[in-house]
């Protein structure tokens, strides 16, 4: 059985970790935005002007970060790349692939991740 290069194994683990972190950030920002909005909508009088403004700002900032950084897409890209490379690694490990195909799968996986996009205009379009 051919051995998978350690760099490939390490990258699969890193991409899994990055996907987990980015999805966690996405969920945290989404929940923060929703909870802040609900608190403002429900307890306007009880919160007072200052707290209402703070919670409104937190909600808006959370949504803006989600939209402008496209954190969900980036997390999904890492997840797809990790799965793609892991599948090719499994084929390689069982002898159903070659080193060339493994390297090609690595390049394809990196393309799935894509670049970090920051577009401040996206938050104003929604």
For the segment 6-15, what is each residue's pLDDT rounded down to a tens digit?
999 999 999 9
pTM of the complete model beyond 0.85:
no
For the segment 51-63, what is each residue's pLDDT rounded down to a tens digit?
999 999 999 999 9
Q: Are 123 and 64 in contact (CB under 8 A)?
A: yes
Q: Provide the pLDDT confidence category of residue 44 given band limits of 50, 70 and 90.
A: confident
């Amino acid at each position: 059985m051919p051995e998978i290069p350690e760099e490939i194994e390490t990258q699969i683990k890193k991409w899994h970790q990055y996907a987990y972190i980015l999805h966690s950030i996405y969920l945290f920002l989404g929940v923060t935005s929703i909870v802040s909005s609900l608190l403002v909508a429900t307890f306007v009088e009880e919160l007072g002007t200052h707290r209402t403004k703070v919670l409104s700002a937190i909600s808006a900032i959370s949504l803006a970060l989600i939209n402008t950084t496209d954190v969900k897409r980036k997390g999904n890209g890492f997840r797809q790349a990790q799965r793609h490379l892991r599948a090719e690694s499994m084929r390689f490990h069982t002898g159903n692939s070659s080193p060339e195909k493994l390297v090609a799968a690595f390049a394809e996986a990196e393309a799935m991740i894509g670049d970090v996009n920051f577009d401040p205009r996206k938050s104003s379009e929604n």
